[in-house]
Chain A
């Protein structure tokens, strides 16, 4: 608690400007000038109105001997002027904001398309060549131990379009340094685009509240030179072709967010000792937990919901290949 010096305020605005985070994409040009235009106008009006108000309040304070013989209780001309001038200025604000928004909405035709999947509580990026980058906290930890970077890796100077989709509730893709944001939904695709202008690492946040670990649903955008990017992609593609172990898949799927393997119930039941047990279901029936049941629980969890739990597990159909599902089922089966 203690020890946050107010100097931290200054530290925190070191990067970027006072108001804005670092500027690392061509898309910032659709937002920042508009922001500063509005900031200029509003600051001017703020200062003017406060000054006039303060002047009136002090000049006409009760004990002053100001001239009060011609007080005004309204003037239609003055009122009209004070309505028309802001209206015109607001029309200009609307217009620049509209133009910026349209530019933010229309990606260049040659954009690199990366599918972005949000689910409780991590992001997955699917590259056009089929390589999948999973950014769950557990997976990121495993990768870090292996010396690998985790995040959305993109080449500099290349327009990128993120096609967003959710596996469960609403989430939102947000990259402050690029000034882009869009909600992702389970029932339709949405998209945003950017073209990075500086190499470096930038925050990628979820900005639509999505439950328990909403504030941990964050990752990084890592911008590389084209050659570095190509090398990275080749390496990652090769890695992802290697079969993964059960624990890797369990981490990658973000299963640990809801399931413990040590007997502690979380958002979902603990999975150790599951195999072979008679599982009571929410509809009153029960089922023997065999391989088929475990597999179905992963691919289509709402088919049989465990008694005492809400049907909040996202379906993982399509996330794992057949071999991977086998490995995963086997892994769970062996958790005693």
Chain B
């Protein structure tokens, strides 16, 4: 039999005594959100801007990233409006090209890559480890400033006329086209350092600062995922950096590396670019795997199904992810033999991914599933990511990729994987950790409505794009042959619904931030260490170093006497 689980703030007070251990709840100590406030606004602002507190850095990342998400989102709405009809009517071809470049560039470099690791991850990683901070707090702050510097360069490039190379910067177009492309390249180059700093910090923190009693295999899966992500950030980002630098050098100094007119090779650029950008897909998706693992276990009140399989598959995905970049280039003129090898290796990434899907589904088996907002996002993620993953098979298979490459099928596929992966899981994680971050509860009913609107809007936006693509509509088309009008029209309507859903969520979250009911320390009955501290946490997280005495998913209501649990 299961105990009734604490769910509302009231009965959460009855949660097991340890939840209120001597770590949190010292009324005399202010929370991380407000310390320094008493000295007046200017010095309070300064105390945020020069903070080395991982929680404050996480929140500042969160605000910056969401700001750029809004910009990229509005850009997308703007060109979806254009694409409602086949003829060009809302904007010129030039503007369209700049708009999709802006959307892609911002979403990849400024939003999805930092979204979960730098914003949510920064907040939860030390708390989950039972640590006071990350290993290198100043480096952490530096990464935020480097992020702002990179963002400023990109913004400068956009205000200086914009650029239309696509986020992929393929040569020789990117080395010959006009516009402030060099600034954009330097912006993306700079952002890479921010990503590397965060990755390095997380790896060292996880190795060195786990609470006593927390072996690697007692870590919450979120930490495994962030660890695998950090490895990828550290190993792949330098390749992007050097590639972008070479493109910039070709533009500025005319050094011939990628431009055939100067004796270079454009396909080489694609190899370099995808050597980073395929692993970058895992920088975007692995953190999502972490969030989903936490959410599905906590809200099903069940030990995760196949802990070891999930933990190790994250790391193996990260490693195999380095060997498959050529699957983006089956029709780019690379040799047939390379194509075959890359296709073959790509299927190896599919296997660990499939294992994860089975594990998450299996976790609900015999649990006690709560249909609250975080869980709705989890189920929504499973559904969308399943579609994204399965459609990936069409693209890793060489014969079908020839037909589907660079069509809307690819656009739909990577939105199902990356937008569902990063954004939907992030929203789930944000709702899950929201009470801990801000000390307030949001309105549960509105939360559920928001999750459902987003789910419907998402499918309406991107599913028709699969059909448009497999019927032959190329991507990055400003005007198109009229047979695709119906599908594009549906997709645009979907994007309006999706945007409405996101604004809706923003509204009730802002309301919760200022007017929400105070949250208890442990609203979901989680047993990982972040729930053992005060809400919101104090500056140093814990008064005493917490000790990890049980696995991350040993929920109190799991009745050991019945012999369940370990296999």
Contact = CB atoms under 8 A, between A and B. Distances in A.
A169 interface: yes
Interface in B261-279: 261, 265-267
Interface stretch (B191-199, B212-220, B355-363, B516-524): B355-363
B306 to A, nearest CB: 4
A57 interface: yes
Interface in B349-404: 350-351, 354-355, 357-359, 361-362, 364-371, 379, 382-383, 386-387, 390-391, 393-394, 396-403
B433 interface: no
B267 A71 contact: no
Given A1-B89, A8-B489, A215-B478, A72 B369 contact: no
Contacts, number: 309
A155 B182 CA distance: 47
21 contacts: A19-B467, A19-B470, A20-B470, A50-B383, A53-B364, A56-B364, A57-B364, A67-B366, A73-B302, A73-B306, A74-B362, A78-B362, A79-B359, A83-B351, A86-B350, A101-B330, A170-B266, A176-B403, A176-B471, A185-B333, A209-B476
Interface of A: 1, 4, 6-13, 15-16, 18-21, 30-31, 34-35, 38-39, 41-42, 45-46, 49-50, 52-53, 56-57, 60-62, 66-76, 78-79, 82-83, 86-87, 90-91, 93-94, 96-102, 104-105, 168-170, 172, 174, 176-177, 179-183, 185-188, 190, 203, 205-216, 218, 267, 302, 310-312
B173 A31 contact: no
B172 A94 contact: no
Given A72-B362, A174-B472, A4 B84 contact: yes
B170 interface: yes
A182 B343 CA distance: 17
Contact of A73 (B173, B305, B467): B305
B85 A312 contact: no
Given A94-B344, A181-B406, A71 B367 contact: yes
Given A60-B365, A69-B564, A97-B343, A181 B405 contact: yes
Contact of B347 (A90, A183, A203): A90
Nearest to A87: B351
B231 to A, nearest CB: 23
B531 interface: no
Nearest to B563: A70
Interface in B198-243: none
B93 to A, nearest CB: 5
Contacts of A13: 467, 471
B398 A98 contact: yes
A311 B516 CA distance: 59
Interface of B: 1-2, 5, 81, 84-85, 89, 93-94, 97, 164, 166, 170, 172-173, 176-178, 260-261, 265-267, 300, 302-309, 330-333, 336, 339-340, 343-344, 347, 350-351, 354-355, 357-359, 361-362, 364-371, 379, 382-383, 386-387, 390-391, 393-394, 396-403, 405-407, 464, 467, 470-472, 474-481, 483-487, 489-490, 553, 558, 562, 564-567
Nearest to B352: A83
Contacts of A205: 472, 474
Contacts of B564: 69-73
Contact of A172 (B303, B344, B401, B406): B406
Contacts of B371: 57, 61-62
B486 A206 contact: no
A226 B566 CA distance: 72
